[in-house]
Amino acid sequence: MFESLTDRLGSVFDNLRGKGALGPKDVDEALREVRRALLEADVALPVAKSFIDKVRERAVGQEVLRSVTPGQQVVKIVHDAMVETLGTTPAPISLAAAAPVVIMMVGLQGSGKTTSTAKIAKRLTEQQKKKILMASLDVRRPAAQEQLKVLGEQTEVATLPIIEGQQPVDIAKRAVQAAKLGGFDVIMLDTAGRLHVDEALMTEMADVRAVSEPHETLLVADSLTGQDAVNVAEQFHGRIGLTGIVLTRTDGDGRGGAALSMRAVTGVPIKLLGTGEKLDELEDFAPDRVAGRILGMGDVVSLVEKAAETIDAERANKMAAKMKKGQF
């Protein structure tokens, strides 16, 4: 997903790393290139601007650590700023509520919502030994309910029986009731999508939310749609309130900007990445790992971290020696 961004940033950092000393002019030139690379990768303009400002503030006038070059240190600063932009720490799906915990899946048509619902259900069943009930509330798309039923059979996860003609709000009520009676730990509501965000969709989502009271409301967004995915996230969050984002098709050759913009624009954490079509191709979103993947320079980052640890240890030893001598 990040190949083009990784290539562009790689050439910027290769130029920097070859220099023995960096002046403000070198940093400005490099950051101009980084900004261009971010915008070409579909990162939202305000996010790119704030990212560059953060890096510039930390890079200019920073004390250079012994045993690393200024260029290597800038790579580390960019890495840290990227981790912050992506969300600092992983945010797993929360089940910290009274059973049955409701997880409501929302998003546009074609984003991979139904498959993601089954993937998450399979994961929670296998990894956390939870008893899951999946329910399709999509009465608009032909065979959508049937699709979830088939996925339930493949993953050995229970699905709510289909009642022809029943409307989404009533299906949600029936799912909650069935889950309580059946002793289920988690209910996954696979809601309907539209080709674009419209008032009818948002009203339906708000109504379903009101009757089901979800603990998690997850937006499934197609990473290949770039800036559009960010706009969709903003609209959904503004109207119904999201608790997390699942980015799909991250194995594609998209520009990766959606992942970098999502958290910064909405304040909502990316929780999971869909990495393929198979039902086990789902992984936790770990900001530091993703930043490392984008920069492709884990060796440099760990080198600078080690140098900083050495300096800290030396300072601590000097301080201890001073305290011993009573010079404190």
What are the pLDDT digits (tens) for 144-185? 999 999 999 999 999 999 999 999 999 999 999 999 999 999
- Domain locations in the chain? 3-89+311-316, 101-289
The model scores a pTM over 0.85:
no
Q: Express each pLDDT in 251-269 by its tens digit.
A: 765 567 777 888 888 889 9
Based on the number of CB atoms within 10 Å of its own CB, is 50 exposed (0-12), middle (13-18) or buried (19 or more)? middle
CATH number of 3-89+311-316: 1.20.120.140
Instruction: Find where tokens 């961004």 sit.
Output: 5
Exposure string over 13-46, b if 16+ CB within 10 A, otherwise e? beebbeeeebeeebbeebbebbbebbbebbbbee
132-136 and 186-190: which strand pairing?
A: parallel
pLDDT at 65 over 70: no
Supply the DSSP string of 191-247, one letter for each residue.
----SS--HHHHHHHHHHHHHH--SEEEEEEEGGGTHHHHHHHHHHHHHH--SEEEE
Do 34 and 27 meet the contact criterion of CB atoms below 8 Å apart? no
CATH number of 101-289: 3.40.50.300
**106 has which bridge partners?**
219
Neighbours of 69 (CB within 10 A): 20
pLDDT at 321 over 80: no
